[in-house]
Structure 1
Amino acid sequence: MSSFSGNIRKMRVSADPTGKVNYVLPIGEQQVHMNPLIGHTINVSHSGNIHCVHCGRKTKKSFSQGYCFPCMSTLAQCDSCIIKPELCHYFQGTCREPAWGEEHCLTDHFVYIANTGDVKVGITRHVGEGISSRWIDQGASQAIVMLRVADRLLSGEVETLCKAFIADKTNWRTMLKGQPDGQDLIALKQQLLDKIAPELATLQQQKGLQAVQMVEDTVHDIAYPVLQYPDKIKSINLDKDGQFSGTLLGIKGQYWLLDGDRVINMRKYSGYELTIELDD
């Protein structure tokens, strides 16, 4: 039996050229490759200790998926504008950490449409030629970039225009119920662009033509390592139960899927000190 102990972090994700997703769980100083463990028995226990993923401080409660209260209250990466980019206040001179804002917010962002069981709109900083880790974390089976914009605030403003016609949230229960039907994202993208065209033209007049740019139509298909999806979802709560064991049937988004229709959002427990035992 193999055993790993330490504070965990959000699973690292990547996708190969065919769209197949690979997962690695950081635990302590080790990196556990999760895909080969699917189909095997896994035992997980929480020591009761939680450490902030930013400063390492021991904390009784985790905030914003892994931070202690002081870090959650002071870090720019924990500010409300991270969840609602249209509230970015860097240009008002009130950013909690201007240097962090310059690196993360004053860069190109991409507005996208994704199929996570329902079609949604969202934003991400990282696309390049491949698949965004944000799409994987949200459990999207398909995604297409709609627009490239100049900064985070502008991405939030465009996303807000889109929210009048399309959701901006992932229904995690729907996402975990199975592989969704394919959607014609190219057609949906064009329909949405047509609906927001007047407001988009106004933003271009205000910010400049290069601030909002069209992007070539490329639909990305994403495949997750799942043997079986749950019929009725039962969430595992480490704060309440402290431990669990069972057969790992798959991973989607940041969720582990286990036998007995059980699921656990591992990202929620970033900073928790766990012991993970694996049957060889």
Structure 2
Amino acid sequence: MMHGNLRKMMASADSNGKVSYQLRLGDEQFPLEQAIGQKVSIQFSGQISCIHCGRASNKSFSQGHCYPCFKKLAACDTCIMSPEKCHYHKGTCREPDWAEKFCMQSHYVYLSNTTALKVGITRGDQLPTRWLDQGATQARAMFLVDNRRTSGLVETLFKDEVADKTNWRNMLKGSDLNIDLAAEQERLINRLWEGLDSLQNEFGLQAIQELGDDNVTHEFDYPVLEYPTKVTSINAEKTPLVEGTLMGIKGQYWMLDTGVINLRKYTGYEAAFTL
């Protein structure tokens, strides 16, 4: 049995693409491969603590923050979800020192397969974590970009051609078909070269670098015994005792024989886990 405030599951992949997860409650961690196919329960107490300042909160904002932190932290600003709206260069960032560390560093613009073709961005040190959190079965970095705002502008070019959101219900049904991501990269760049050329003229050739022929497509295998044919979401606010046989994990979702739950949604919630 484990008890503490829930944190985002840690995900990693070995050299063969096999994904494993660690459940995190407070300072404790548990390797969830031991729980696949077993009866599990997670009991939510109703208490929420901010993952930044630790204060008690009646509601969780921006994946685990209290309202004051949500309003003041740069990590909770709208530009985190819409990086092309980054305003650091205007001198209006909430936390310039934080932005220097997290935003003003290299980012990747990538393609992934989450049952459909998707474009996204992530920091250079967040691969493959970002792909695993989204439940991607395939992923391929296309560009190395020198900061978050510029990577967001590149991503925006692709949004007219490719979705930038994951259909989580389809992702959890496991109906993935392989996509030739290298061919899709070439096709999209050929369609969008004028916009890419314009951005490179504005920010410099070194600011947006297409990755070369040695770039590879990564493939991932998630710990799933059986995918649900019907996706029924569990709301821990309404059903604080979540229990059932753990049939698999993909993205930040548990797939139980009683329904599916997005654990990341409850970051900062106090809970007790039992295997």
TM-score (norm: length of structure 2):
0.97
Distance 2:29 2:240 in 1: 22
1:249-278 CA-partner distances (Å, limit 9, x unpaired)? 100000000013x10000000000001111
| Post-superposition offset of 1:24 | 0.6
| Alignment match, 1:148 | 144
Q: Give unmatched runs, 5+ long, in structure 1.
A: none
| Structure 2 residue 189 is the aligned partner of structure 1 residue 185 | no
Task: Read off the aligned partner of 1:199 and give its amino acid letter.
Answer: G
Q: Distance in 2 between matches of 1:164 and 1:277?
A: 45
1:165 is aligned to 2:174: no
Q: Is the 8 A contact 1:114 1:144 kept in 2?
A: yes
1:88-135 C-alpha deviation (Å, 9 max, x unpaired): 00000010100000111111110000000111100011368xx52010
Where do 4+ consecutive residues of structure 1 move more than 6 Å? none
Secondary structure at the counterpart of residue 144 of structure 1 = strand
Q: Which residue of 2 aligns with 1:56?
A: 54
User: What is the CA-CA distance between 1:195 and the residue it aligns to?
Assistant: 1.2
In 2, the alpha carbon distance for the partners of 1:246 and 1:198 equals 52
CA RMSD of aligned residues (A): 1.1
Identify the residue that residue 4 of structure 2 maps to in structure 1: 6
Structure 1 counterpart of 2:154, one-letter code: V
In structure 2, the partner of 1:19 is 17
Name the structure 1 match of 2:200.
Answer: 204
Q: Which residue of 2 aligns with 1:95?
A: 93
Superposed displacement of residue 179, structure 1: 4.3
Instruction: State how far apart, in whole Å, the 2-side matches of 1:195 and 1:204 are.
Output: 16
Contact 1:126–1:133, Cα closer than 8 Å, also in 2: no
Alignment-derived partner of residue 263 in structure 1: 260
Tell me the TM-score normalised to structure 1 length: 0.95
The equivalent position to 2:106 in structure 1, one of 99, 105, 108, is 108
Tell me whether 1:215 sits opposite 2:201 in the alignment.
no
The CA distance in 2 between the partners of 1:125 and 1:30, in whole Å, is 27
Give 1:148 deviation, angstroms: 0.8
Aligned residue type for 1:136: L
Contact map agreement 1:124 1:132 (CA 8 A) in 2: no
